[in-house]
A = this chain, B = another copy of it.
């Protein structure tokens, strides 16, 4: 038998690894450390292939209703095990595709975070408190969050090839835990890593007897096909992490037909450093700010991109202290796109009146690098062009705003767009509390997570996390993309059962608590007891 040569890496549709019909149109990933294209070619899937994934996903959604949640949990755990079994290979390829360090980043930090998320999702799928089973015994009404009835499409970002990966990251784990199949659209920056992770998912699907369309993978489509995908009648919902431009295009398509779409887009994560804190620990805060800014070469959604201080000699010294740290050699960016989006953003900031303190240019050399860049602007200037001066620069770029007094700082706070986070640094003895009380309440409503005396990078996978916030940070202020079980709620539909005969109720709503440990709201009280 003669084998047809594989033109491009296979896609996974309906439980089959198959050659894409889009093989003639392909792309390759690029090693950003050497600017060298990698050998593997990945297909751009035509619409017919996307449609096939939708059909298989819809079938899997129906089949999943009959799959015991313990089995689904076993799949998620086996998936995590499989990733660990290939941890070195995965981390090595992710490094080549993204330029992120194997250590301390990919191998011993991001990969364990990824498998931990999958195991937390498994625990949630097994225990099921997340579905908020609610029972009104008097009226014969019972409700819970059930699956969406169609596959969830996941678009992962370029900056976390594992923990936010389309197939194995937080959105995928949450969508699966809620009982939905997923269609992963690989980030084109790390298609090989995504394929390795999908192989682990596929092996786990087979080992645990999951429906064949539970996890599917395509690498790329046209923008038009992407818009059709998220707005297709068979789709349950979409999870997207990436740029504001791409996100808004998908959002428009999904919104038009009322398909839920959860987006995590852009955020400058303002940090307010109040005068007492600068008196007390200027150098330490400068250290923290630079460390947080430069983590992952500034390519974090939670990178502090905007610092607000009161103008004073001390805050001028703070700017200088930060400037000194920004002189450090820059890290490698995820790809060439980063270079021009950063260049573009810095240009926009300068055009809007920001003064360049340090950096501001691409660094020539064998890898993609942009000089660490610090800018400053007066409060007055900021208020003249607040939108332009909140342009996100996805790299080690930060803007310091000098407010001339507290009312101006409050005015700046009022003009902030929706952000994932905001931080306040204040003196430990409470001398900043009056300013805090005047500014923090304004900021509170504009962000998902409010920090005290800490930088925003480092997003703990906790039930009390909010990796979310008002638009344009995300598409809805009520949901988080990180933290189990809260992130799962995005992928549930509210199902009420009105006088439904008891043997027809899902296990979660029957009189007997199906796990013995599941929390349910019975007649107004949270309990793990059975009904009656």
Task: Provide the A466-482 mask, 1 if CB < 8 A to any CB of B, else 0.
Answer: 10101110111111100
CB distance from A67 to the nearest CB of B (A): 13
Q: How far is the CB of A494 from chain B (nearest CB, A)?
A: 5
The A443-464 residues at the B interface (CB cut-off 8 A) are: 444-446, 448-454, 460, 462-464
Contact yes or no, B465 A141, CB < 8 A: yes
Q: Which residues of B lie under 8 Å from residue A2 when comparing CB positions?
A: none
Stretch at the interface among A6-14, A101-109, A257-265: A257-265
Contact B463 A496 (CB under 8 A): no
Is B141 a contact partner of A460 (Cβ separation < 8 A)?
yes
Which of A62, A471, A477, A526 has the most C-beta atoms of chain B within 10 angstroms of its own C-beta? A477
Which of B62, B141, B252, B466 is A495 in contact with, Cβ under 8 Å? B466
Instruction: Report Cα–Cα, A463/B522, bound state, in Å.
Output: 9
Q: How far, in Å, is A169 (CB) from chain B's closest CB?
A: 20
Q: A474: which B residues are within 8 A, CB to CB?
A: 258
A245 CB-CB contact with B under 8 Å: no
Is A464 touching B258 in the complex (CB atoms < 8 A)?
Answer: no
Within 8 A of B (CB), among A425-457: 436, 440-442, 444-446, 448-454
Whether A258 contacts B146 in the complex (CB less than 8 A), given A454-B498, A504-B452, comes out as no
The answer to whether the Cβ of A314 comes within 8 Å of any Cβ in the partner chain is no
Stretch of A131-139, A349-357, A375-383 lying at the B interface = A131-139
Contact, CB under 8 Å: B463 / A136: yes
Interface residues in A70-106 by Cβ distance below 8 A to B read none
Which of chain B's residues have a CB closer than 8 A to the CB of A475?
258
Enumerate A116-157 residues with CB–CB distance to B below 8 Å.
Answer: 134-136, 139, 141-143, 145-150
A446 to chain B: closest residue by CB: B149
A251 to chain B: which residues have CB within 8 Å? 255, 258
Cβ contact within 8 Å between A494 and B478? yes
Complex CA distance for A147 and B445, rounded to whole angstroms: 8
Asked if A41 is an interface residue, CB under 8 A from chain B, the answer is no
Please name all residues of chain B whose beta carbon is closer than 8 Å to the beta carbon of A489 when the two chains form the complex.
Answer: 478
Pair A462/B258 contact, Cβ less than 8 Å: no
B496/A452 in contact, CB under 8 A: no
Count of identical protomers in the assembly: 2
Q: Given A141-B464, A260-B478, A477-B260, A494 and B448 touching (CB < 8 A)?
A: yes
Q: Is A497 interfacial (CB 8 A cutoff)?
A: yes
Which B residue's beta carbon lies closest to that of A479? B494
Does A493 make an interface contact (CB < 8 A)? yes
Q: What's the Cα separation between A279 and B187 when bound, in Å? A: 57
Q: Is A519 engaged at the interface, CB distance under 8 Å to the other chain?
A: yes
Contact between chains at B466 and A143 (CB < 8 Å): yes
Expressed in whole angstroms, the minimum distance between the Cβ of A427 and any Cβ of chain B is 11
Q: In the complex, which residue of chain B has the Cβ closest to the Cβ of A442?
A: B62
Q: Are A258 and B134 within 8 A (Cβ)?
A: no
B contact residues around A421 at 8 Å (CB): 498
Residues of B within 8 A of A466 (CB): 143, 494-496
A255 to B, closest residue via Cβ: B255
- A492: interface (CB < 8 Å): yes
Most chain B beta-carbon contacts within 10 A, residue among A142, A475, A493: A493
Contacts of A498 in B (CB 8 A): 421, 449-452, 454
CA distance A519 to B256 in the complex (A): 38
Closest approach, in angstroms, between the C-beta of A152 and any C-beta of chain B? 13
- In the complex, which residues 37-90 of chain A have their Cβ closer than 8 Å to any Cβ of chain B? 61-62, 65
A501 proximity list for chain B (CB < 8 A) = 452
Judged by a CB distance under 8 angstroms, whether A304 is at the interface is: no
- Complex CA gap A401/B436 in Å reads 64
Least CB distance, A13 to chain B, in whole angstroms? 21
Residues in B whose Cβ lies below 8 Å from that of A460:
136, 139, 141
Once bound together, how far apart are the Cα atoms of A418 and B526, in whole Å? 31
For residue A467, give the distance in angstroms from its CB to the closest CB of chain B: 8
A62-B441 contact given A260-B476, A478-B260, CB 8 Å threshold: yes
Q: For the complex, is A516 an interface residue (Cβ under 8 Å from B)?
A: no
Bound together, the chains give a CA A446 to CA B436 distance in angstroms of: 48
- Smallest CB-CB separation from A150: which chain B residue? B445
CA distance A76 to B465 in the complex (A): 32
- Rounded to whole angstroms, the CA-CA distance of A259 and B145 in the bound complex is 23
A-B contact pairs, 25 of them (CB 8 A): A62-B441, A65-B441, A134-B464, A136-B465, A141-B464, A143-B464, A143-B465, A143-B466, A145-B478, A149-B445, A251-B258, A252-B256, A258-B472, A258-B476, A259-B471, A444-B495, A449-B496, A449-B497, A450-B495, A450-B496, A452-B498, A452-B504, A454-B499, A466-B494, A478-B493
Residues of A within 8 A of B (CB): 61-62, 65, 134-136, 139, 141-143, 145-150, 251-252, 255-260, 418, 421, 436, 440-442, 444-446, 448-454, 460, 462-466, 468, 470-472, 474-480, 486, 489-490, 492-501, 504, 519, 521, 524-527
